[in-house]
């Protein structure tokens, strides 16, 4: 059995179920309690779990991230919500220098089972300082696991797995898609971290993406189908560990690959995937791997420039035709 849930409600269910199951799990962050969360992800949780387990913090990301790391090292399982990963930059010392390195620095004596979560990527006209994409930033750090998805069922199952994981996990969501709805199983389930999902089977070309770029990618696949082109769509769901095996198997079938990544092109997730495929599936490629990224500049404010900056279905279709050597 399944029910229809918005992304925010699926995340809420994941946290609530895990807090009912394990009393060491708690939530902390700005406005998560009295205000029910900046995006209403934690709606009703203060009423159920009380102020000792759903904790409003000051506007001090470095401080409350540090409290979370200390709590995790001492037997608790904190969920630290950032209003946006853009604000988490202030907490990078705790995430990168402490949480990610606790296990190795202590020679395995201390674990750090903590989840840092919040929206990443653009959110409309929020301009440069509130529209950055952080998956590749965090995935570059050994010791951190990185989840990035918007499908409600995937998000719920992966967040539950993240909360139970003994390593620090960064969960990237989408501010624009907290209201995005999907079918979510009613029974309890977990989704393993590190496994991509084939959203759509195809045989002419592989389209790989993650987070909210899944939607324009599926739109592009439908448009390509109308022209007789069968596109396979893979949602990474997890950035680190990266499920390159699923991509390799798809490329062996389709012989062509386009990677759609909302972040900047230099040293990003799409660049890593391009490297992996040329290493493990070079002999199967009938065309160079092509990437569709955001423009290599800070996001402008003007709506026309936002449209020009971000990947969209038309850009994905154009890239697919180039890889297929079809004149657009």
> Hey, which residues are catalytic here?
61, 130
Which residues fall within 8 angstroms of residue 8, CB to CB, at 6 or more apart?
A: 37, 39, 40, 41, 43, 178, 179
The dihedral region occupied by 31, where left means phi > 0, alpha psi between -120 and 50, and beta the remainder, is left
Q: Shortest CA distance to 313 belongs to which of 242, 260, 246?
A: 260
What are 299's two structure tokens? 């996001």
What are 15's two structure tokens? 């946290």
Whether the link from the prior residue into 241 is cis, omega within 30° of 0, is yes
Cα separation, 89 vs 185, whole angstroms: 35
What DSSP character marks residue 94? I
Burial of 285 (0-12, 13-18, 19+ CB in 10 A): middle
**266 φ/ψ angles, rounded to the nearest 5 degrees:** -75, 125
Q: Is 190 helix (H, G, I), strand (E, B) or coil?
A: coil
| Cα 313 → chain centroid | 20
């Amino acid at each position: 059995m399944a029910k229809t849930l918005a992304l925010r409600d699926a995340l809420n269910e994941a946290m609530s179920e895990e807090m009912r199951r394990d009393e060491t799990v708690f939530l902390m962050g700005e406005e998560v309690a009295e205000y029910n969360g900046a995006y209403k992800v934690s709606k009703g949780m203060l009423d159920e779990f009380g102020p000792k387990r759903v904790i409003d913090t000051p506007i001090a990301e470095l401080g409350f991230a540090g409290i979370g790391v200390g709590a995790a090292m001492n037997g608790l399982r904190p969920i630290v919500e950032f209003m946006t990963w853009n604000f988490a930059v202030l907490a990078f010392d705790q995430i990168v220098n402490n949480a990610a390195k606790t296990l190795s620095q202590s020679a395995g004596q201390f674990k750090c089972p903590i989840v840092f979560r919040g929206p990443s990527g653009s959110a409309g006209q929020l301009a440069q300082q509130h529209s950055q994409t952080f998956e590749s930033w965090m995935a570059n750090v050994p010791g951190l696991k990185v989840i990035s998805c918007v499908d409600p069922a995937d998000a719920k199952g992966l967040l539950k797995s993240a909360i139970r994981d003994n390593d620090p996990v960064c969960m990237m969501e989408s501010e624009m898609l907290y209201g995005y709805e999907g079918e979510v199983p009613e029974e309890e389930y977990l989704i393993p971290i590190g496994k991509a999902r084939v959203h759509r089977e195809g045989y002419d070309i592989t389209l790989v993406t993650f987070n909210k770029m899944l939607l324009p990618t599926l739109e592009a696949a439908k448009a390509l189908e109308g022209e007789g082109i069968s596109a396979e769509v893979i949602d990474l769901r997890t950035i680190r560990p990266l499920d390159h095996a699923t991509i390799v198997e798809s490329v062996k079938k389709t012989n062509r690959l386009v990677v759609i990544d909302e972040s900047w092109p230099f040293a990003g997730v799409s660049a890593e995937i391009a490297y992996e495929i040329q290493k493990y599936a070079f002999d199967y490629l009938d065309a160079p791997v092509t990437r569709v990224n955001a423009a290599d500049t800070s996001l402008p404010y003007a709506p026309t420039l936002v449209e020009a900056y971000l990947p969209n279905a038309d850009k994905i279709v154009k890239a697919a035709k180039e890889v297929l050597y079809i004149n657009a």
